[in-house]
Protein backbone atom coordinates (compact mmCIF):
# COMPACT_ATOMS: atom_id res chain seq x y z
CA UNK A 1 0.00 0.00 0.00
CA UNK A 2 1.33 3.43 -0.88
CA UNK A 3 1.04 6.68 1.00
CA UNK A 4 -0.23 9.84 -0.65
CA UNK A 5 1.95 12.93 -0.77
CA UNK A 6 0.41 15.93 0.94
CA UNK A 7 1.82 18.59 -1.38
CA UNK A 8 -0.77 21.26 -2.15
CA UNK A 9 -3.62 18.95 -1.16
CA UNK A 10 -3.94 20.38 2.34
CA UNK A 11 -6.78 22.52 3.63
CA UNK A 12 -6.59 26.09 4.89
CA UNK A 13 -7.74 25.23 8.41
CA UNK A 14 -8.01 28.89 9.44
CA UNK A 15 -10.48 29.52 6.64
CA UNK A 16 -12.41 26.35 7.48
CA UNK A 17 -12.59 27.29 11.16
CA UNK A 18 -14.19 30.58 10.17
CA UNK A 19 -16.65 28.83 7.87
CA UNK A 20 -17.58 26.22 10.44
CA UNK A 21 -18.00 28.69 13.30
CA UNK A 22 -20.71 30.50 11.32
CA UNK A 23 -22.67 27.27 10.77
CA UNK A 24 -23.19 26.79 14.52
CA UNK A 25 -25.65 29.69 14.45
CA UNK A 26 -28.04 27.45 12.49
CA UNK A 27 -28.51 25.04 15.41
CA UNK A 28 -31.82 25.45 17.25
CA UNK A 29 -31.02 26.25 20.89
CA UNK A 30 -32.95 27.63 23.82
CA UNK A 31 -31.52 30.53 25.83
CA UNK A 32 -30.42 28.17 28.61
CA UNK A 33 -28.16 26.02 26.40
CA UNK A 34 -24.50 26.85 27.05
CA UNK A 35 -22.59 23.55 27.11
CA UNK A 36 -20.73 22.46 23.99
CA UNK A 37 -19.24 19.29 22.51
CA UNK A 38 -15.79 19.49 20.88
CA UNK A 39 -15.39 18.24 17.31
CA UNK A 40 -12.09 16.90 15.99
CA UNK A 41 -10.59 16.23 12.56
CA UNK A 42 -9.86 12.49 12.24
CA UNK A 43 -6.90 13.14 9.92
CA UNK A 44 -4.85 14.59 12.77
CA UNK A 45 -6.99 14.45 15.93
CA UNK A 46 -6.99 18.26 16.25
CA UNK A 47 -10.04 20.20 17.43
CA UNK A 48 -11.86 21.97 14.61
CA UNK A 49 -14.74 23.51 16.55
CA UNK A 50 -17.60 22.80 18.93
CA UNK A 51 -21.34 22.24 18.68
CA UNK A 52 -24.06 23.03 21.25
CA UNK A 53 -24.91 20.16 23.59
CA UNK A 54 -28.65 20.45 23.09
CA UNK A 55 -31.13 19.17 25.66
CA UNK A 56 -34.86 18.48 25.92
CA UNK A 57 -35.82 22.17 25.79
CA UNK A 58 -33.93 22.63 22.52
CA UNK A 59 -35.66 19.67 20.89
CA UNK A 60 -39.07 20.85 22.04
CA UNK A 61 -38.36 24.35 20.68
CA UNK A 62 -37.17 22.94 17.34
CA UNK A 63 -40.27 20.75 16.95
CA UNK A 64 -42.56 23.63 17.93
CA UNK A 65 -41.02 25.91 15.29
CA UNK A 66 -41.08 23.17 12.68
CA UNK A 67 -44.71 22.34 13.37
CA UNK A 68 -45.74 25.97 12.97
CA UNK A 69 -43.86 26.29 9.66
CA UNK A 70 -45.21 22.99 8.34
CA UNK A 71 -48.82 24.15 8.22
CA UNK A 72 -48.26 26.72 5.49
CA UNK A 73 -45.67 24.56 3.69
CA UNK A 74 -48.18 21.72 3.31
CA UNK A 75 -50.61 24.13 1.65
CA UNK A 76 -48.14 25.09 -1.07
CA UNK A 77 -48.48 23.57 -4.53
CA UNK A 78 -46.37 20.48 -5.00
CA UNK A 79 -44.70 22.22 -7.96
CA UNK A 80 -43.38 24.95 -5.62
CA UNK A 81 -41.85 22.33 -3.34
CA UNK A 82 -40.29 20.61 -6.37
CA UNK A 83 -38.67 23.90 -7.42
CA UNK A 84 -36.91 24.19 -4.05
CA UNK A 85 -35.39 20.74 -4.52
CA UNK A 86 -34.34 21.59 -8.08
CA UNK A 87 -32.57 24.77 -6.95
CA UNK A 88 -30.98 22.83 -4.08
CA UNK A 89 -29.57 20.30 -6.56
CA UNK A 90 -27.91 23.12 -8.51
CA UNK A 91 -26.40 24.57 -5.34
CA UNK A 92 -25.02 21.20 -4.25
CA UNK A 93 -23.27 20.76 -7.58
CA UNK A 94 -22.05 24.37 -7.67
CA UNK A 95 -20.65 24.24 -4.11
CA UNK A 96 -19.28 20.71 -4.28
CA UNK A 97 -15.68 21.71 -3.42
CA UNK A 98 -16.76 23.38 -0.19
CA UNK A 99 -19.00 20.43 0.66
CA UNK A 100 -16.20 17.96 -0.03
CA UNK A 101 -13.83 19.91 2.22
CA UNK A 102 -16.24 19.91 5.16
CA UNK A 103 -17.12 16.23 4.72
CA UNK A 104 -13.45 15.26 4.71
CA UNK A 105 -12.60 17.55 7.60
CA UNK A 106 -15.24 15.97 9.83
CA UNK A 107 -15.03 12.33 8.74
CA UNK A 108 -11.45 11.77 7.61
CA UNK A 109 -12.70 9.89 4.55
CA UNK A 110 -11.00 9.92 1.15
CA UNK A 111 -12.22 12.64 -1.18
CA UNK A 112 -13.43 10.06 -3.69
CA UNK A 113 -15.83 8.71 -1.08
CA UNK A 114 -16.88 12.23 -0.07
CA UNK A 115 -17.79 12.83 -3.72
CA UNK A 116 -20.14 9.81 -3.57
CA UNK A 117 -22.11 11.67 -0.90
CA UNK A 118 -22.40 14.86 -2.91
CA UNK A 119 -23.31 12.89 -6.00
CA UNK A 120 -26.09 10.90 -4.31
CA UNK A 121 -27.61 14.00 -2.66
CA UNK A 122 -27.70 15.72 -6.06
CA UNK A 123 -29.21 12.58 -7.64
CA UNK A 124 -31.86 12.38 -4.93
CA UNK A 125 -32.80 16.06 -5.20
CA UNK A 126 -33.08 15.80 -8.97
CA UNK A 127 -35.11 12.60 -8.85
CA UNK A 128 -37.75 13.83 -6.42
CA UNK A 129 -37.91 17.32 -7.95
CA UNK A 130 -39.57 15.77 -11.03
CA UNK A 131 -41.88 13.27 -9.35
CA UNK A 132 -43.81 15.10 -6.65
CA UNK A 133 -47.09 15.38 -8.50
CA UNK A 134 -46.82 11.86 -9.91
CA UNK A 135 -46.26 10.28 -6.49
CA UNK A 136 -48.31 12.60 -4.29
CA UNK A 137 -51.22 13.53 -6.56
CA UNK A 138 -54.73 12.22 -5.94
CA UNK A 139 -55.18 8.62 -7.04
CA UNK A 140 -58.45 7.37 -8.48
CA UNK A 141 -59.44 3.93 -7.16
CA UNK A 142 -62.41 1.65 -7.93
CA UNK A 143 -65.47 2.23 -5.78
CA UNK A 144 -67.67 -0.50 -4.36
CA UNK A 145 -70.59 0.50 -6.59
CA UNK A 146 -69.61 1.32 -10.20
CA UNK A 147 -70.74 4.79 -11.30
CA UNK A 148 -72.35 5.45 -7.90
CA UNK A 149 -69.15 5.39 -5.78
CA UNK A 150 -66.16 7.65 -6.61
CA UNK A 151 -63.03 6.88 -4.57
CA UNK A 152 -59.75 8.74 -4.37
CA UNK A 153 -56.64 8.30 -2.23
CA UNK A 154 -54.86 11.36 -0.88
CA UNK A 155 -51.33 11.34 0.53
CA UNK A 156 -51.35 13.58 3.60
CA UNK A 157 -48.06 14.66 5.20
CA UNK A 158 -47.38 13.15 8.62
CA UNK A 159 -46.42 16.54 10.05
CA UNK A 160 -42.92 16.72 11.57
CA UNK A 161 -40.38 14.06 10.65
CA UNK A 162 -37.56 13.48 13.12
CA UNK A 163 -34.39 12.07 11.56
CA UNK A 164 -31.36 10.70 13.42
CA UNK A 165 -28.44 10.49 10.99
CA UNK A 166 -25.02 8.77 11.38
CA UNK A 167 -21.42 9.92 11.04
CA UNK A 168 -20.29 7.65 8.20
CA UNK A 169 -22.19 9.43 5.38
CA UNK A 170 -23.29 12.56 7.23
CA UNK A 171 -24.28 14.73 4.27
CA UNK A 172 -26.03 12.08 2.23
CA UNK A 173 -27.89 10.30 5.04
CA UNK A 174 -29.14 13.56 6.55
CA UNK A 175 -30.15 15.36 3.35
CA UNK A 176 -31.25 12.45 1.15
CA UNK A 177 -33.72 11.35 3.82
CA UNK A 178 -34.90 14.90 4.47
CA UNK A 179 -35.61 15.81 0.83
CA UNK A 180 -38.56 13.45 0.21
CA UNK A 181 -39.97 14.30 3.64
CA UNK A 182 -39.95 17.99 2.71
CA UNK A 183 -41.40 17.36 -0.75
CA UNK A 184 -44.26 15.42 0.86
CA UNK A 185 -45.21 18.58 2.79
CA UNK A 186 -43.56 17.84 6.11
CA UNK A 187 -41.21 19.75 8.34
CA UNK A 188 -37.97 18.04 9.39
CA UNK A 189 -35.97 18.05 12.63
CA UNK A 190 -32.59 16.35 12.35
CA UNK A 191 -30.23 15.17 15.05
CA UNK A 192 -26.96 14.53 13.22
CA UNK A 193 -24.11 12.54 14.76
CA UNK A 194 -22.15 14.76 17.12
CA UNK A 195 -18.90 13.99 15.24
CA UNK A 196 -20.27 15.30 11.93
CA UNK A 197 -22.88 17.99 12.51
CA UNK A 198 -21.27 20.77 10.48
CA UNK A 199 -22.00 19.23 7.08
CA UNK A 200 -25.67 18.78 8.01
CA UNK A 201 -25.76 22.45 8.98
CA UNK A 202 -24.23 23.34 5.64
CA UNK A 203 -27.03 21.39 3.99
CA UNK A 204 -29.60 23.42 5.94
CA UNK A 205 -27.91 26.62 4.79
CA UNK A 206 -28.10 25.56 1.13
CA UNK A 207 -31.74 24.48 1.43
CA UNK A 208 -32.68 27.88 2.80
CA UNK A 209 -30.69 29.54 0.03
CA UNK A 210 -32.75 27.42 -2.40
CA UNK A 211 -35.94 28.91 -0.96
CA UNK A 212 -36.93 26.57 1.88
CA UNK A 213 -38.65 28.45 4.74
CA UNK A 214 -36.12 28.85 7.57
CA UNK A 215 -38.09 27.19 10.36
CA UNK A 216 -39.13 24.21 8.26
CA UNK A 217 -35.78 22.44 8.60
CA UNK A 218 -34.44 22.37 12.15
CA UNK A 219 -31.18 20.89 13.45
CA UNK A 220 -30.45 19.98 17.06
CA UNK A 221 -26.95 18.82 17.98
CA UNK A 222 -25.91 16.60 20.84
CA UNK A 223 -25.74 12.98 21.92
CA UNK A 224 -28.37 10.36 21.22
CA UNK A 225 -29.04 9.41 24.85
CA UNK A 226 -29.50 13.08 25.80
CA UNK A 227 -31.94 14.20 23.10
CA UNK A 228 -32.97 11.12 21.12
CA UNK A 229 -35.87 10.11 23.41
CA UNK A 230 -37.35 13.63 23.40
CA UNK A 231 -37.13 13.79 19.62
CA UNK A 232 -38.92 10.44 19.25
CA UNK A 233 -41.67 11.50 21.62
CA UNK A 234 -42.39 14.90 20.08
CA UNK A 235 -42.23 14.32 16.30
CA UNK A 236 -44.78 12.49 14.14
CA UNK A 237 -42.38 10.19 12.29
CA UNK A 238 -38.97 8.77 13.23
CA UNK A 239 -36.21 7.88 10.77
CA UNK A 240 -32.96 6.35 12.03
CA UNK A 241 -29.79 5.13 10.32
CA UNK A 242 -27.18 3.44 12.47
CA UNK A 243 -26.37 0.31 14.42
CA UNK A 244 -28.87 -2.47 14.99
CA UNK A 245 -28.44 -2.19 18.77
CA UNK A 246 -29.39 1.49 18.79
CA UNK A 247 -32.09 0.86 16.19
CA UNK A 248 -33.86 -1.49 18.59
CA UNK A 249 -33.95 1.28 21.20
CA UNK A 250 -35.31 3.81 18.69
CA UNK A 251 -37.94 1.33 17.47
CA UNK A 252 -39.04 0.64 21.05
CA UNK A 253 -39.38 4.36 21.77
CA UNK A 254 -41.29 4.97 18.53
CA UNK A 255 -43.58 2.01 19.17
CA UNK A 256 -44.32 3.12 22.71
CA UNK A 257 -45.42 6.48 21.32
CA UNK A 258 -47.29 4.94 18.34
CA UNK A 259 -45.05 6.74 15.86
CA UNK A 260 -44.33 5.46 12.37
CA UNK A 261 -40.65 4.75 11.84
CA UNK A 262 -38.08 3.51 9.36
CA UNK A 263 -34.72 2.05 10.36
CA UNK A 264 -31.71 1.31 8.19
CA UNK A 265 -29.37 -0.70 10.41
CA UNK A 266 -26.24 -2.83 10.26
CA UNK A 267 -25.04 -5.39 7.76
CA UNK A 268 -22.55 -8.23 7.43
CA UNK A 269 -22.76 -8.21 3.68
CA UNK A 270 -21.76 -11.21 1.53
CA UNK A 271 -20.33 -11.40 -1.97
CA UNK A 272 -20.58 -14.62 -4.01
CA UNK A 273 -17.97 -15.15 -6.74
CA UNK A 274 -18.74 -17.95 -9.21
CA UNK A 275 -16.15 -19.73 -11.39
CA UNK A 276 -17.23 -18.00 -14.61
CA UNK A 277 -16.83 -14.50 -13.16
CA UNK A 278 -14.62 -11.98 -14.99
CA UNK A 279 -11.89 -11.79 -12.35
CA UNK A 280 -10.46 -8.46 -13.51
CA UNK A 281 -13.85 -6.80 -13.18
CA UNK A 282 -14.72 -8.71 -10.02
CA UNK A 283 -11.54 -7.88 -8.15
CA UNK A 284 -11.79 -4.20 -9.09
CA UNK A 285 -15.43 -4.03 -7.97
CA UNK A 286 -14.82 -6.02 -4.80
CA UNK A 287 -11.93 -3.80 -3.68
CA UNK A 288 -14.20 -0.78 -4.08
CA UNK A 289 -17.03 -2.60 -2.30
CA UNK A 290 -14.92 -3.64 0.67
CA UNK A 291 -12.72 -0.59 1.28
CA UNK A 292 -14.75 2.44 0.18
CA UNK A 293 -15.02 4.89 3.08
CA UNK A 294 -12.43 2.73 4.85
CA UNK A 295 -15.09 0.04 5.18
CA UNK A 296 -17.34 2.30 7.29
CA UNK A 297 -20.34 1.66 5.11
CA UNK A 298 -23.37 -0.37 6.11
CA UNK A 299 -23.60 -1.91 2.61
CA UNK A 300 -19.85 -2.66 2.30
CA UNK A 301 -18.69 -6.22 1.59
CA UNK A 302 -17.32 -7.94 4.70
CA UNK A 303 -17.74 -11.63 3.71
CA UNK A 304 -16.59 -12.99 0.36
CA UNK A 305 -17.47 -16.53 -0.78
CA UNK A 306 -15.41 -17.74 -3.76
CA UNK A 307 -15.84 -20.98 -5.71
CA UNK A 308 -13.09 -23.47 -4.87
CA UNK A 309 -12.00 -23.76 -8.52
CA UNK A 310 -10.83 -20.12 -8.58
CA UNK A 311 -10.27 -19.54 -4.86
CA UNK A 312 -6.46 -19.36 -4.86
CA UNK A 313 -6.30 -17.21 -7.98
CA UNK A 314 -8.94 -14.85 -6.65
CA UNK A 315 -7.18 -14.45 -3.28
CA UNK A 316 -3.87 -13.70 -5.01
CA UNK A 317 -5.44 -11.10 -7.28
CA UNK A 318 -7.55 -9.53 -4.55
CA UNK A 319 -4.55 -9.24 -2.21
CA UNK A 320 -2.41 -7.72 -4.96
CA UNK A 321 -5.12 -5.13 -5.75
CA UNK A 322 -5.50 -4.31 -2.05
CA UNK A 323 -1.76 -3.76 -1.76
CA UNK A 324 -2.03 -1.16 -4.53
CA UNK A 325 -4.51 0.98 -2.60
CA UNK A 326 -3.25 4.40 -1.70
CA UNK A 327 -3.80 5.64 1.85
CA UNK A 328 -3.60 9.31 2.67
CA UNK A 329 -4.82 12.27 4.68
CA UNK A 330 -5.13 14.71 1.80
CA UNK A 331 -7.85 16.89 0.31
CA UNK A 332 -7.41 15.72 -3.28
CA UNK A 333 -8.63 12.70 -5.24
CA UNK A 334 -5.36 10.72 -5.10
CA UNK A 335 -5.87 8.44 -2.07
CA UNK A 336 -8.42 5.67 -2.34
CA UNK A 337 -8.61 5.08 1.41
CA UNK A 338 -8.79 7.59 4.24
CA UNK A 339 -8.97 7.41 8.01
CA UNK A 340 -11.39 5.75 10.37
CA UNK A 341 -13.55 8.32 12.10
CA UNK A 342 -12.50 7.94 15.75
CA UNK A 343 -10.47 6.14 18.37
CA UNK A 344 -13.53 4.07 19.27
CA UNK A 345 -13.84 2.82 15.69
CA UNK A 346 -10.11 2.07 15.50
CA UNK A 347 -10.32 0.04 18.71
CA UNK A 348 -13.23 -2.04 17.39
CA UNK A 349 -11.53 -2.84 14.07
CA UNK A 350 -8.25 -3.65 15.79
CA UNK A 351 -9.99 -5.92 18.30
CA UNK A 352 -11.73 -7.90 15.53
CA UNK A 353 -8.50 -8.43 13.59
CA UNK A 354 -6.42 -9.30 16.66
CA UNK A 355 -9.03 -11.80 17.85
CA UNK A 356 -9.05 -13.46 14.42
CA UNK A 357 -5.26 -13.61 14.27
CA UNK A 358 -5.04 -15.10 17.76
CA UNK A 359 -7.61 -17.76 16.80
CA UNK A 360 -5.75 -18.92 13.70
CA UNK A 361 -6.89 -16.67 10.84
CA UNK A 362 -4.39 -15.89 8.09
CA UNK A 363 -3.72 -12.22 7.31
CA UNK A 364 -2.69 -11.85 3.67
CA UNK A 365 -2.31 -8.08 3.67
CA UNK A 366 -2.81 -5.27 6.19
CA UNK A 367 -3.90 -6.01 9.71
CA UNK A 368 -2.18 -3.08 11.40
CA UNK A 369 -2.93 0.47 12.49
CA UNK A 370 -0.96 3.24 10.75
CA UNK A 371 -0.28 5.99 13.29
CA UNK A 372 2.37 7.37 10.93
CA UNK A 373 -0.46 8.57 8.69
CA UNK A 374 -2.86 9.78 11.37
CA UNK A 375 -4.26 8.71 14.74
CA UNK A 376 -7.06 6.51 13.35
CA UNK A 377 -5.68 5.00 10.16
CA UNK A 378 -5.92 1.22 9.69
CA UNK A 379 -4.62 -0.74 6.73
CA UNK A 380 -7.05 -2.45 4.34
CA UNK A 381 -6.98 -6.05 5.51
CA UNK A 382 -7.69 -9.39 3.83
CA UNK A 383 -8.03 -12.62 5.83
CA UNK A 384 -8.76 -16.29 5.21
CA UNK A 385 -9.25 -19.22 7.60
CA UNK A 386 -11.87 -17.25 9.55
CA UNK A 387 -14.30 -19.45 11.48
CA UNK A 388 -17.51 -19.08 13.48
CA UNK A 389 -15.71 -18.69 16.81
CA UNK A 390 -14.16 -15.38 15.75
CA UNK A 391 -15.89 -12.03 16.34
CA UNK A 392 -14.92 -11.06 12.79
CA UNK A 393 -17.00 -13.88 11.31
CA UNK A 394 -20.47 -12.82 12.41
CA UNK A 395 -20.30 -9.32 13.94
CA UNK A 396 -20.31 -6.20 11.80
CA UNK A 397 -16.74 -4.83 11.79
CA UNK A 398 -17.46 -1.54 10.01
CA UNK A 399 -13.87 -1.11 8.95
CA UNK A 400 -11.46 -1.96 6.10
CA UNK A 401 -11.51 -5.71 6.74
CA UNK A 402 -12.80 -8.53 4.50
CA UNK A 403 -12.67 -12.29 5.03
CA UNK A 404 -12.66 -14.79 2.14
CA UNK A 405 -14.14 -18.31 2.24
CA UNK A 406 -14.26 -21.13 -0.36
CA UNK A 407 -17.45 -22.87 -1.47
CA UNK A 408 -18.14 -25.83 -3.75
CA UNK A 409 -21.83 -25.57 -4.77
CA UNK A 410 -24.34 -22.83 -5.43
CA UNK A 411 -26.57 -24.17 -2.65
CA UNK A 412 -23.68 -23.93 -0.20
CA UNK A 413 -22.87 -20.37 -1.27
CA UNK A 414 -26.47 -19.20 -0.88
CA UNK A 415 -26.76 -20.95 2.49
CA UNK A 416 -23.57 -19.28 3.75
CA UNK A 417 -24.69 -15.88 2.46
CA UNK A 418 -28.00 -16.21 4.32
CA UNK A 419 -26.42 -17.57 7.51
CA UNK A 420 -26.53 -14.22 9.33
CA UNK A 421 -28.95 -12.15 11.37
CA UNK A 422 -28.41 -9.31 8.90
CA UNK A 423 -29.93 -8.79 5.45
CA UNK A 424 -28.95 -5.42 4.05
CA UNK A 425 -26.86 -5.86 0.90
CA UNK A 426 -25.20 -8.60 -1.14
CA UNK A 427 -23.49 -9.08 -4.48
CA UNK A 428 -23.22 -11.90 -7.02
CA UNK A 429 -20.38 -12.09 -9.54
CA UNK A 430 -20.86 -14.20 -12.69
CA UNK A 431 -20.73 -13.94 -16.48
CA UNK A 432 -24.19 -15.53 -16.68
CA UNK A 433 -26.45 -12.65 -15.68
CA UNK A 434 -29.64 -14.74 -15.71
CA UNK A 435 -27.99 -17.17 -13.32
CA UNK A 436 -26.91 -14.15 -11.27
CA UNK A 437 -30.49 -12.88 -11.08
CA UNK A 438 -31.67 -16.32 -9.95
CA UNK A 439 -29.07 -16.49 -7.19
CA UNK A 440 -29.86 -12.91 -6.16
CA UNK A 441 -33.54 -13.76 -5.64
CA UNK A 442 -32.52 -16.49 -3.19
CA UNK A 443 -30.48 -14.18 -0.98
CA UNK A 444 -32.34 -12.65 1.95
CA UNK A 445 -31.12 -9.07 1.57
CA UNK A 446 -32.91 -5.84 0.74
CA UNK A 447 -30.53 -5.05 -2.14
CA UNK A 448 -28.57 -7.52 -4.25
CA UNK A 449 -26.18 -6.43 -6.99
CA UNK A 450 -25.04 -8.58 -9.90
CA UNK A 451 -21.49 -7.73 -11.02
CA UNK A 452 -21.40 -4.64 -8.79
CA UNK A 453 -20.75 -4.30 -5.06
CA UNK A 454 -23.39 -1.77 -3.96
CA UNK A 455 -23.46 1.20 -6.32
CA UNK A 456 -25.89 -0.24 -8.87
CA UNK A 457 -28.71 -0.68 -6.37
CA UNK A 458 -27.96 2.27 -4.12
CA UNK A 459 -27.55 4.86 -6.89
CA UNK A 460 -30.71 3.68 -8.70
CA UNK A 461 -32.86 6.15 -6.78
CA UNK A 462 -36.05 5.00 -8.51
CA UNK A 463 -35.90 1.64 -6.68
CA UNK A 464 -36.38 1.15 -2.91
CA UNK A 465 -33.40 0.45 -0.64
CA UNK A 466 -33.47 -1.04 2.86
CA UNK A 467 -32.87 -4.11 4.95
CA UNK A 468 -34.38 -7.45 5.85
CA UNK A 469 -34.08 -9.28 9.18
CA UNK A 470 -31.98 -7.32 11.72
CA UNK A 471 -30.91 -4.81 9.08
CA UNK A 472 -34.00 -2.69 9.55
CA UNK A 473 -37.52 -1.88 8.48
CA UNK A 474 -38.85 0.52 5.88
CA UNK A 475 -37.23 1.78 2.68
CA UNK A 476 -35.55 4.88 1.34
CA UNK A 477 -35.52 5.96 -2.33
CA UNK A 478 -38.21 5.56 -4.98
CA UNK A 479 -41.91 6.10 -4.46
CA UNK A 480 -41.69 4.12 -1.21
CA UNK A 481 -39.10 6.54 0.19
CA UNK A 482 -41.50 9.44 -0.34
CA UNK A 483 -44.85 7.92 0.62
CA UNK A 484 -43.51 6.68 3.96
CA UNK A 485 -43.65 10.31 5.05
CA UNK A 486 -47.40 10.44 4.36
CA UNK A 487 -50.64 9.00 5.64
CA UNK A 488 -52.95 7.47 3.04
CA UNK A 489 -56.44 8.96 3.18
CA UNK A 490 -59.40 7.25 1.49
CA UNK A 491 -62.12 9.68 0.35
CA UNK A 492 -65.30 8.18 -1.15
CA UNK A 493 -68.18 10.15 -2.66
CA UNK A 494 -71.46 8.21 -2.84
CA UNK A 495 -73.97 9.37 -5.48
CA UNK A 496 -77.60 8.31 -5.63
CA UNK A 497 -78.38 5.08 -3.81
CA UNK A 498 -76.47 4.59 -0.56
CA UNK A 499 -75.09 1.44 1.04
CA UNK A 500 -78.44 0.34 2.55
CA UNK A 501 -81.60 -1.19 1.03
CA UNK A 502 -83.91 1.31 -0.73
CA UNK A 503 -87.12 2.13 1.10
CA UNK A 504 -89.66 -0.65 0.81
CA UNK A 505 -87.15 -3.36 -0.23
CA UNK A 506 -86.92 -6.17 2.36
CA UNK A 507 -83.40 -6.97 3.51
CA UNK A 508 -83.60 -10.62 2.30
CA UNK A 509 -84.24 -9.36 -1.24
CA UNK A 510 -81.51 -6.71 -0.93
CA UNK A 511 -79.05 -9.41 0.20
CA UNK A 512 -80.01 -11.66 -2.75
CA UNK A 513 -79.69 -8.87 -5.31
CA UNK A 514 -76.40 -7.67 -3.85
CA UNK A 515 -74.94 -11.20 -3.92
CA UNK A 516 -75.94 -11.59 -7.55
CA UNK A 517 -74.37 -8.23 -8.40
CA UNK A 518 -71.10 -9.29 -6.73
CA UNK A 519 -70.98 -12.40 -8.89
CA UNK A 520 -71.63 -10.30 -12.01
CA UNK A 521 -69.00 -7.67 -11.16
CA UNK A 522 -66.40 -10.40 -10.72
CA UNK A 523 -67.03 -11.77 -14.19
CA UNK A 524 -67.27 -8.54 -16.21
CA UNK A 525 -63.92 -7.09 -17.30
CA UNK A 526 -63.57 -3.48 -16.27
CA UNK A 527 -65.77 -3.86 -13.20
CA UNK A 528 -63.36 -5.99 -11.17
Q: Which tens digit of pLDDT belongs to each residue from 93-135?
A: 999 999 999 999 999 999 999 999 999 999 999 999 999 999 9
Cβ atoms of 337 and 326 closer than 8 Å: yes
- CA angle 341–344–350, rounded 5-degree value: 95
Rounded to whole angstroms, how far apart are CA atoms 471 and 389? 22
The answer to whether position 458 is within a domain reads: yes
Confidence of residue 325 (pLDDT cuts 50, 70, 90): very high
Residues 311 and 219 reside in one and the same domain: no
Mean pLDDT for the stretch of residues 256-284: 97
**Does position 20 have pLDDT exceeding 90, yes or no?**
no
The answer to whether position 401 is within a domain reads: yes
Residues 282 and 247 reside in one and the same domain: no
pLDDT of amino acid 7: 35
Residues 375 and 231 reside in one and the same domain: no
Identify the active-site residue in 264, 302, 379, 396: 264
Q: What is the pLDDT of residues 184-235, one digit of tens each?
A: 999 999 999 999 999 999 999 999 999 999 899 999 999 999 999 999 999 9
264 is an active site residue: yes
Identify the active-site residue in 40, 172, 233, 298: 298
Residues 248 and 299 reside in one and the same domain: no
pLDDT of amino acid 5: 40
Residues 239 and 313 reside in one and the same domain: no
**Does position 237 have pLDDT exceeding 60, yes or no?**
yes
46 is an active site residue: no
The answer to whether position 400 is within a domain reads: yes
- What's 393's domain CATH number? 3.40.309.10
Residues 179 and 327 reside in one and the same domain: no
Q: Report percent pLDDT > 70 for the chain.
A: 95
Write down the mean pLDDT value for the chain.
94
Confidence of residue 30 (pLDDT cuts 50, 70, 90): confident
- DSSP letter string, 90-137: HHHHHTHHHHHHHHHHHH---HHHHHHHHHHHHHHHHHHHTTHHHHHS
Report the predicted TM-score, pTM, of the whole model to 2 decimal places: 0.94
Confidence of residue 6 (pLDDT cuts 50, 70, 90): very low
Mean pLDDT for the stretch of residues 307-327: 98
State the total domains in the chain.
Answer: 3
Q: What is the pLDDT of residues 377-402, one digit of tens each?
A: 999 999 999 999 999 999 999 999 99
Residues 228 and 275 reside in one and the same domain: no
Residues 286 and 430 reside in one and the same domain: yes
The answer to whether position 501 is within a domain reads: yes
Give which of 230, 209, 256 is closest to 30, Cα–Cα: 230
**Does position 486 have pLDDT exceeding 70, yes or no?**
yes
Mean pLDDT for the stretch of residues 405-432: 98
Residues 261 and 373 reside in one and the same domain: no
pLDDT of amino acid 507: 92
- What's 90's domain CATH number? 3.40.605.10
Helix (H) or strand (E) holding 155: strand 149-157
The answer to whether position 2 is within a domain reads: no
The answer to whether position 341 is within a domain reads: yes
**Does position 510 have pLDDT exceeding 90, yes or no?**
no
Domain containing residue 389: 269-470
Q: What is the pLDDT of residues 32-67, one digit of tens each?
A: 777 999 999 999 999 999 999 999 999 999 999 999
Mean pLDDT for the stretch of residues 483-497: 94
Residues in CB range of 99: below 8 A, 6 or more apart: 92, 114, 117, 118, 171, 199, 202
The answer to whether position 152 is within a domain reads: no
Residues 165 and 274 reside in one and the same domain: no
pLDDT of amino acid 4: 47
The answer to whether position 143 is within a domain reads: no
pLDDT of amino acid 16: 60
pLDDT of amino acid 527: 64
Give which of 224, 248, 201, 252 is closest to 51, Cα–Cα: 201
Q: What is the pLDDT of residues 426-469, one digit of tens each?
A: 999 999 999 999 999 999 999 999 999 999 999 999 999 999 99
Residues 169 and 292 reside in one and the same domain: no
Residues 134 and 73 reside in one and the same domain: yes
pLDDT of amino acid 147: 82
Amino acid sequence: MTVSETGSASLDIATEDERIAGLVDLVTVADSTTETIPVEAPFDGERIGAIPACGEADVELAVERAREAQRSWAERDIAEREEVLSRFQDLVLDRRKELLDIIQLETGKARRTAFEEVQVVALTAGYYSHRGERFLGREKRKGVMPVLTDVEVNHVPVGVAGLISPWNYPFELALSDALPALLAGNAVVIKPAEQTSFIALKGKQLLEEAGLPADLFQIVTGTGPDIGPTLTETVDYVGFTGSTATGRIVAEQAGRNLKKCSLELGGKNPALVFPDADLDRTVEGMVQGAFSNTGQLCIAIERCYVHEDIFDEFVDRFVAATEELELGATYDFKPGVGSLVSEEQLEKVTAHVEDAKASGATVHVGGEARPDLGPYFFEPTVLTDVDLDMDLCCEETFGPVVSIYPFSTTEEAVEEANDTDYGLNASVWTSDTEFGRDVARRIRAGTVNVNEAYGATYASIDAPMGGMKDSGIGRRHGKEGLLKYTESQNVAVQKGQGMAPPDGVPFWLYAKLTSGALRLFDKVPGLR
